[in-house]
Amino acid sequence: MAEKFDIIIVGAGTAGLSAAIYATRSGKSVLVLEEMAYGGQIINTPEVANYPGIAKISGFDFAQGLYDQATALGARVEFCSVSGVEDRGNEKVVKTDGGDFEAGAVILATGAKNRPLGMAHEEEWIGNGISYCATCDGAFFKGKTVAVAGGGNTALEDAIFLSGYCEKVYLIHRRSELRGEQHLQEALRKKENVEFVLNVAIKELTGSDHLEAVVVTDKETGQERKLEVAGLFVAIGQMPKNERFADLVELDQGGYIVAGEDCKTSHEGIFVAGDCRTKSVRQLTTAASDGAVAALAACAYLER
Ligand code: NAP
């Protein structure tokens, strides 16, 4: 017999744990299912300085606070991998590698995973020069030369962080304009050991059994340049991981779950929160906001 809960939340990132806080405070029994570590993407951010009411906090401490708050309120967190959700009318059955769980309503808060460059050797050299997490792996490259690929906030923050450890940091971006916030761009430009390599395409990752260089091509001149580096931090955005729910809820072309600000999916009783849904602003604040909206919508659905 599958264990029953009022609400099952898939994903223990900011959106999922915020939903757990709101649902437990509404008197519901809540199970949160997480396949990796709790906290989601924010645990990889060294410093969060744009969450209203908190001037400065590390991503890890922020995530820990959310987890402690949700579990103290009574949410149960289980670590297992969800393979799909089956709707049996009033009961939704969540299938996992640790068995089935049942709930009256389900909130999908699966976040997103790092987008790869899609280059030869990229996957093979993860841990041997290729990383997607500067906070996790930066210390391995102390005193060495590294590169960061990407022009968004993550890439800029990673480059700032790495410039404190590494001899030199190349910031490689496919356009001349950076996408990341102005204050991060300014902070990075002040670093003497950071070189901007802009308007280039990454042509090749070279090395023997580990990364030794990144070959880039200037998009205007076609000129090639070989950047000898011990590490490449790939920070080119995220991709959702919703394929397993494709039969249940509508996904857009990019794989995001289609929903508006009410966090209701195309399937009654299935809600969505955070970066895994269609939205224009993917931030910590909007993930937390989605968690609250989805939880209260799920509660209203149960009480209909
Ligand atoms: P992002 O904002 O989507 O930026 C991704 C970057 O990678 C862009 O510069 C993009 O180039 C580039 N890119 C995408 N695909 C590429 C490819 N195949 N090859 C080469 N380059 C590629 O992603 P993010 O920086 O991870 O940020 C995600 C979200 O989290 C954003 O909303 C961001 O503001 C937020 N965030 C906020 C903070 C903060 O507020 N402290 C920190 C981190 C992240 P183009 O610019 O040419 O598209």
At 161 the pLDDT is 94
Cα(258) to centroid(ligand 1), Å: 21
Give catalytic status of residue 299 as yes or no.
no
Residue 85: exposure state from Cβ atoms within 10 A (0-12, 13-18, ≥19): buried
Q: What angle do CA 205, 216, 214 make, to 5 degrees?
A: 30
Contacts of 9 (CB under 8 A, 6+ apart): 16, 19, 20, 23, 30, 31, 32, 33, 75, 106, 107, 109
Nearest CA to ligand 1 atom 2: 152
Mind listing the domains of the chain with CATH numbers?
3-113+238-303 (3.50.50.60), 116-234 (3.50.50.60)
The pLDDT of residue 194 is 98
Please answer whether residues 39 and 13 qualify as being in contact, where contact means their C-beta atoms are separated by less than 8 angstroms. Answer: yes
**Predicted local distance difference test score (pLDDT) of residue 44:** 78
The parts of the chain modelled with pLDDT lower than 70 are none
* pLDDT score recorded for residue 274: 98
Asked whether 13 lines ligand 1 (CB < 6 A), one says no
What pLDDT sits at residue 249?
A: 98
**Ligand 1 pocket mutation pick from 179, 198, 219, 239 by most atoms within 8 angstroms of CB:** 179
Is the Cβ atom of 44 under 6 angstroms away from ligand 1? no
Name residue, tokens 């103290």.
72
The CB of 179 under 6 Å from ligand 1? The reply is yes
Alpha carbon of 154 to ligand 1 centroid (Å): 6
Marked catalytic residue, from 6, 137, 275, 290? 137
- Dump pLDDT digits (tens) for 8-67: 999 999 999 999 999 999 999 999 999 999 999 898 787 888 899 999 999 999 999 999
Q: Tokens for 74, please give them.
A: 């009574």
Q: Which amino acid residue places its CA nearest to atom 11 of ligand 1? A: 151
State which ligand 1 atom lies nearest to the alpha carbon of 50.
Answer: 40
Q: How remote is the CA of residue 85 from the centroid of ligand 1, in Å?
A: 30
Which residues on adjacent β-strands are paired with residue 96?
82, 99
* Residue closest to 283 by CA, chosen among 48, 58, 95: 48
User: Which pLDDT value is given to residue 41?
Assistant: 87
- Torsion over CA of 21, 74, 82 and 248, rounded to 10 degrees? -50
Identify which of 51, 133, 148, 153 to mutate to test ligand 1's pocket (most ligand atoms within 8 A of the CB).
153
Q: What is the C-alpha to C-alpha distance for residues 158 and 156, in angstroms, rounded to an integer?
A: 5
Task: Check residue 49 and give its pLDDT.
Answer: 84
- Which pLDDT belongs to residue 288? 98
Q: Does 263 participate in catalysis according to the annotation? A: no
Cβ partners under 8 Å of residue 223, min gap 6: 217
pLDDT at position 48, please? 86
User: How far is residue 65 from each of residues 31, 72, 143, 154, 236, measured CA to CA in Å?
Assistant: 18, 10, 33, 22, 28
Residue 15 Cβ contacting ligand 1 at under 6 Å:
no
Helix-helix angle 14-25:284-302, to 10 degrees:
40
pTM over 0.85, yes/no? no
Q: Which position among 68, 136, 247, 252 bears the catalytic label?
A: 136
